[in-house]
Amino acid sequence: MMDNKKINTGILSGINNMLIKSVIIIDPFEEREYTSDILIENGIIRAVGTDLKIGSSVDFERFPECSRIKFADNLMLFDASGYHASPGFFDMHVHLREPGDEDEEDLESGISAALRGGITSVACMPNTDPPLDRDFLIKDIKNRASTLGFNVYPIAAATKGLEGIEMTEMGILRDSGAAAFSDDGKCIQNAKLMYEIMKYSKIFEMPLILHEEDYSFLSSGMVHDGYYSAALGLDGIPSLSEEIIVARDIMLAEKTCAQIHITHISSKRSVELIKKAKEKGINITCDVTPHHLYFDDSSLKDYNTNFKVNPPLRSSKDRQAIIEAVKAGVIDAIASDHAPHLETEKNIPFSEAANGVIGMETLFKAAYTILCKKGNLNSVELIKLLTKSPSKILKISTGKINPDLKADFVILDLERESVIRRQDFFSRSSNSAFTGEKLTGEIVLTVCNGKIGFLNNSVNLEKKLGNFR
Amino acid sequence: MLSVKNIIDIDDLSSEDIKLIMENADSFGEVLERDLKKVPTLRGKTLVNLFFEPSTRTRTSFEIAAKRLSADMINFSASTSSLKKGETIIDTVNTIQSMIADLLIIRHPDSGVLNFISRNINTPIINAGDGKHQHPTQALLDLYTIKKSFKSFKDLNVALVGDIANSRVARSNSRLFKRMGMNVSLVSAPMMLPEDISYFGADIFYCIDDVIKDVDVLYMLRMQFERQQKKYYPSIKEYNRFLSLNTERFGMMKKGSIVMHPGPVNRGIEISEAVMNLETEMPARIKINNQVNNGVAVRMALIYLILMSRQENI
């Protein structure tokens, strides 16, 4: 029997010939859904069409009818009728914690968590220890990920040591393979410095990923400044903290023509500012997290630290505004802001707990549940937010389900419901906002760089898999 | 003679003035080749070097020029002066003036101080560098150097490389070179360029590789990494990657093209150690020492022309 844990601890299964039959492909590039077979040989998509067959001598007649997936040597036959397929997801905001905090997560555990979430490409943030502000650190992450057969696009720091004082060697970092620049985790408070960074990033045509908060609003705040912070006796951080920096950076971007991307927006006014900026033709995009789509500050009533995040969960009005913005096309992408933390940092009193939740394994499920199942967003639109759009923003070409490309796709069961359980996470950390939540949409199979990265063991695998030949 | 009393901004000089300066620099250059490198022309005249900012090369260059013309030269530097005791600039200048100086050569760390002084005294002034504003005598000696290396100025491609925003040399040189018909480009980074660069009348590039093959005159500017205790440019390594002259890039330059620098060179920053060491074998290509030599002849010409013009007007 295929051992999922083994497949997912960075050692991708050797199977790279597959025939996926009768799957409904959600194509974000052609913007349509259609039923098709997918034939993969040696990890490359040979054909996408109907009635595809393997031209080989494998006799599948002998295998029991009830099993969807059959294996024979280096070959998988998957009856995917009723399932959907999408290009592998691209999570453009992830904290992999390597180097420095490997007890929270490392590349191996992070990659297996990603694959479980249907994610085949990840852009990771530089607030590691040491931070990714030198070329050899960027190269090291890329090499490590490449050895593990996964696509990691490291984002380099915009300022040295993430201290917000001097800019990094942006040209040299670009040369070493950084995908973008960001001080995420922190925010550059000095407007002049941000201005200089935008001007310099422009000459290299590199995107700037901006985490927006004004520290003068911070003091001891830890939740949204609203009804619940008042009720719970917790210091609040007003949404102005985010909005004034969004406004500042929009003005700077307008002057410099830099490409900026505001990450994890949390408020209604931020949405409005970005919408107006786009109308003016400013080169700006933005993303939201699934937890900001799904929850608001009412979740804080039990002081559950798995709702303690930065930016904080805001009011229901803010959440509604963000959901509407996704439907209206103002939000360009959904990214998890996967932030692993140790039990010692989360399973403690609220005021002491660290900010952040993991999110790669629930990225799709949570977004699908809140936007498509409970909302009325078209699944093609959702898939775009997780694939085509992040690729466009970071100017990186990721998976497409087209012939002659390396196989990079995810098979989804859009009907299946499951309750999220702590013990199921592949991430080294288990600080999830969704624990106990019933979500719709299951990742069945993830294929990355032509190989199987994840296979969901709750999908009819048990039946007589051992019967080869 | 010259159309101006003071030489503060290179744009103050007319085309005739520049022509006159170049011709006289030739004559005085000839004097400097002789065994007896002195002419009695300015005997009895008193020149004052009034340097509020440290300098060895420029100050010495003016001193040698004065002495070759038989003039007397007094050196005054801010650190040893009564300025430390709180004397204002105007009082300092008036004190010197009352010692009957015929010509003041002034360098100051702030832009505009020379304009201020010129409004308050009668003595002619030569600007030896005022803040980030102008360094006209450097521009003239650089022009002279280019004149001696090429048949004509017309359509020569000049690239000024480095910290443009903080450079008085960039300002004087780009204006003068453009006026003489050369094509001026600036190679820099956004952190080292002013917002509006229309004053320079130049194209902008962000990597020296973009100009290296087409340039006739590659003019490297001095780089200073820290201002106000903070680096405004990331690192030497980044500078080397985009803005430095190294052996590889030198090898890509056109036949007959030259390398210039106002000095002193930060070896390993603007120009690599290896390229600097080539100067002795390749004086036709690397003109840094040649610039220094030309500086004396050009300054002799300037001093002579200013004082002669003054005499005529009396």
pLDDT, tens digit, 9 for 90 and up, residues A88-136: 999 999 999 999 999 999 999 999 999 999 999 999 999 999 999 999 9
Given 3-state DSSP classes, what are the helix, strand and coil percentages for chain A, each rounded to the nearest 5? 35, 20, 45
- Dig out the tokens for A271 from the structure: 């949405």
Taking contacts as CB-CB distances below 8 angstroms, the residues of chain B near A170 are 234, 238
User: Vertex B60, ends B57 and B61: CA angle to 5°?
Assistant: 80
Residue of A469 and A51 predicted with greater confidence: A51
Dist CA B21 CA B11 (whole Å)? 14
Phi, psi angle pair for A181, to nearest 5°: -120, 145
Q: Quote the ipTM score.
A: 0.90
A386-412 pLDDT, tens digit per residue, is 999 999 999 999 889 999 999 999 999
Is A135 among the residues known to form the active site? no
CB within 8 Å: A169 and B237: yes
Phi-psi region of A40 (alpha: psi -120 to 50; beta: other; left: phi over 0): beta
For an interface test with B, which of A159, A190, A192, A203 has the most B Cβ atoms less than 10 Å from its Cβ? A203
Q: How confident is the model at residue A460 (pLDDT cuts 50, 70, 90)?
A: low
Say what percent of chain B tops pLDDT 90: 81
Among the partner-chain residues B190, B237, B241, the one whose CB lies closest to the CB of A203 is B190
B263-284 pLDDT, tens digit per residue, is 999 999 999 999 999 999 999 9
Dist CA A144 CA A122 (whole Å)? 13
Give the closest residue to A214 by CA, choosing from A248, A241, A247.
A241
Taking contacts as CB-CB distances below 8 angstroms, the residues of chain A near B187 are none
CB within 8 Å: B241 and A175: yes
pLDDT given at position B227: 72
Residue of B75 and A61 predicted with greater confidence: B75
For an interface test with B, which of A188, A190, A200, A257 has the most B Cβ atoms less than 10 Å from its Cβ? A200
Task: Inform me whether the pLDDT recorded for A50 exceeds 60.
Answer: yes
pLDDT given at position A16: 87
Amino acid, single-letter form, for residue B131: G
What SS3 state is found at A411?
strand
B70-94 pLDDT, tens digit per residue, is 999 999 876 655 565 566 888 888 8
Dist CA A332 CA A330 (whole Å)? 6
Catalytic residue, chosen from A337, A404, A408, A424, is A337
pLDDT given at position A55: 64
Provide the mean pLDDT of chain A: 92
Give the closest residue to A87 by CA, choosing from A145, A141, A23.
A23
Average pLDDT over residues A209-219: 94
Among the partner-chain residues A166, A167, A172, the one whose CB lies closest to the CB of B241 is A172
Which residues 6+ apart lie within 8 Å of A143 measured at CB?
A: none
Dist CA A418 CA A364 (whole Å)? 13
- Dig out the tokens for B297 from the structure: 């002849």
Residue of B nearest to A196 (CA): B191
B237 close contact with A: CB closer than 8 A: yes
Under a CB-based contact definition with an 8 Å cutoff, are residues B110 and B129 in contact?
A: no
pLDDT given at position B65: 97
Lowest mean pLDDT among A24-28, A403-407, A463-467, B144-148: A463-467
pLDDT given at position A467: 30
Taking contacts as CB-CB distances below 8 angstroms, the residues of chain A near B189 are 200, 203
Under a CB-based contact definition with an 8 Å cutoff, are residues A170 and A200 in contact?
A: yes
Dist CA B300 CA B264 (whole Å)? 22
Taking contacts as CB-CB distances below 8 angstroms, the residues of chain A near B204 are none
Lowest mean pLDDT among A222-226, B122-126, B230-234: B230-234
CB within 8 Å: B231 and A166: yes
Task: Inform me whether the pLDDT recorded for A268 exceeds 70.
Answer: yes
Q: How confident is the model at residue A267 (pLDDT cuts 50, 70, 90)?
A: very high
pLDDT given at position A8: 44
Q: Three-class SS string for B253-296?
A: CCCCCEEECCCCCCECCCECHHHHCCCCCCCCCECHHHHHHHHH
Dist CA A458 CA A416 (whole Å)? 11
B195-223 pLDDT, tens digit per residue, is 999 999 999 999 999 999 999 999 999 99
- Dig out the tokens for A373 from the structure: 């199942």
Q: Three-class SS string for A336-394?
A: CCECCCCHHHHCCCHHHCCCCCCCHHHHHHHHHHHHHHCCCCCHHHHHHHHCHHHHHHH
B152-197 pLDDT, tens digit per residue, is 999 999 999 999 999 999 999 999 999 999 999 999 999 999 999 9
Provide the mean pLDDT of chain B: 92
Amino acid, single-letter form, for residue A371: L
User: Vertex B276, ends B155 and B243: CA angle to 5°?
Assistant: 60
pLDDT given at position A461: 42
Residue-wise burial string across B279-290, b where 16 or more C-beta atoms lie within 10 A, e elsewhere: beeeeebbbbeb
